[in-house]
Amino acid sequence: ERDVSRGNFVEGPSTLAMAPVFVGKLLANVVGATVAVGGYGVAKVLSAADRKSSADKESEIADSVVFQTAFSAWLRLNGIWPSVKYEPCNNGCEDHNMRQTPIIVCNHMSYIDGLVLAAVFGAPKIIAKQGTKHTPLIGQFAEDIGVIEVDRDDKASRRATAQAIEEHVRQWQPGQRPLLLFPEGTTSNGDKILPFKKGAFLFGAAVRPVVITYTGSWHPANTNFKANKNGELEPTGDAEWCSQFLGHVVHSLQIKVLPPYHPQELEKADAQVYANNVQVVMSAAYERLRSEHEQQESWQGTAQRFKEWMFGSMNQPALGNGDPCTNSSGGNSNSSSSSRKALTMPANASTSNHRRSTRRANSKSQQ
């Protein structure tokens, strides 16, 4: 089920209508790439100047406002328009500061997830396969922005990845760039957040949970199958994904940033318990985010029908469907339960309530 896209694919003769958009997107990519490369070049010069001065010996290209602005412009020219909401912190932390924890964890659906989050959160570090830094054109760029390489073809790649995470956590200081990780370990169609692997949680470091959902007419989830207009399953791949991506004008998405999650002693001792508990919190937040979007669409649909009734044909029935006071999600959303010691939490519960429940459960287990 997770490998079947629910996106509204344009199929058959209708794909011809995407041709003008496709060409326009290609031209926009040329402009966007030019802007991004220009911003990268300017940022590199400025960073080198900063390192030579006494003002900033640790200046990085990824920290440059010029580079971040140019990179964001390239995304906008591709029709990628994210909106970000920060849930308030209850422990005195800064809501908008993404450099308070060494790791950011997020659900994963699409190739563009990492690009979007990099633009929104000031270019956090990422893990890439070994050899990326030696790739023509992008190799030097990867080196400059601090990509962490691991050999994923090696049988010991998991250990290499864990070592890379451990080294980052050990060297990280508050205010430095965090490491972005997708603990599901794969992409899904976005129906729900999958169980988490424990790699991001092995070293007991605090994490900043983030959830994203795509809200455009076509969902850019990277899956191996899709449901066609007749409801039948068909294989799909990168070629069709690229054509759909370039053929749609806008790819909107919503991002919700949760407060930092600081592990308890039990979670530090058992990485899988830590992973499960964070997955519960993020699943609840993800369902809330989707419900909020569905409710917004319901209000917009009601407003549109009202507009059509007021200004359209007088024979059109007035507000025949929908109740503007009804949440289209059909009620409160609950998080999925986790398979191991993770405690189920209602969608409107705070992280602190969840943590108190964890402590009570731990004390019972020790009696």
In the prediction, which pLDDT does 361 show? 47
Residue 349 confidence (pLDDT) above 50: no
**Which are the contacts of 88, defined by CB distance < 8 A and separation ≥ 6?**
95, 259
Give residue-wise pLDDT tens across range 230-267.
888 889 988 888 888 888 988 999 999 999 999 999 99
In the prediction, which pLDDT does 132 show? 66
**Which are the contacts of 227, defined by CB distance < 8 A and separation ≥ 6?**
4, 5, 6, 233, 234
Alpha helices (H) in the chain, listed in sequence order = 19-52, 65-77, 113-120, 139-144, 157-171, 238-247, 265-269, 271-311, 351-366
Tell me which of 20 and 360 has the higher pLDDT: 20
For every residue of 260-305, DSSP letters joined together read PB---HHHHH-HHHHHHHHHHHHHHHHHHHHHHHHHHHHHHHHHHH
In the prediction, which pLDDT does 58 show? 53
Using pLDDT thresholds of 50, 70 and 90, give the confidence band for residue 360.
very low
Tell me which of 1 and 295 has the higher pLDDT: 295
**Which are the contacts of 54, defined by CB distance < 8 A and separation ≥ 6?**
none
Give residue-wise pLDDT tens across range 9-57.
888 788 888 889 889 988 988 888 888 888 888 888 887 777 776 555 4
- For 254, list phi and psi in degrees, rounded to 5: -115, 140
pTM for the predicted model, two decimal places: 0.74
In the prediction, which pLDDT does 350 show? 45
Using pLDDT thresholds of 50, 70 and 90, give the confidence band for residue 209.
very high
- The chain-wide mean pLDDT, for the chain, equals 79
Q: How would you label 128-161 residue by residue, b for 16+ Cβ within 10 Å and e otherwise?
A: beeebbeeeeeeebbebbbbbbbeeeeeeeeebb
Give residue-wise pLDDT tens across range 281-314.
999 999 999 998 888 776 665 666 556 555 654 4
Tell me which of 162 and 349 has the higher pLDDT: 162
Beta-bridge partner residues of 125: 179
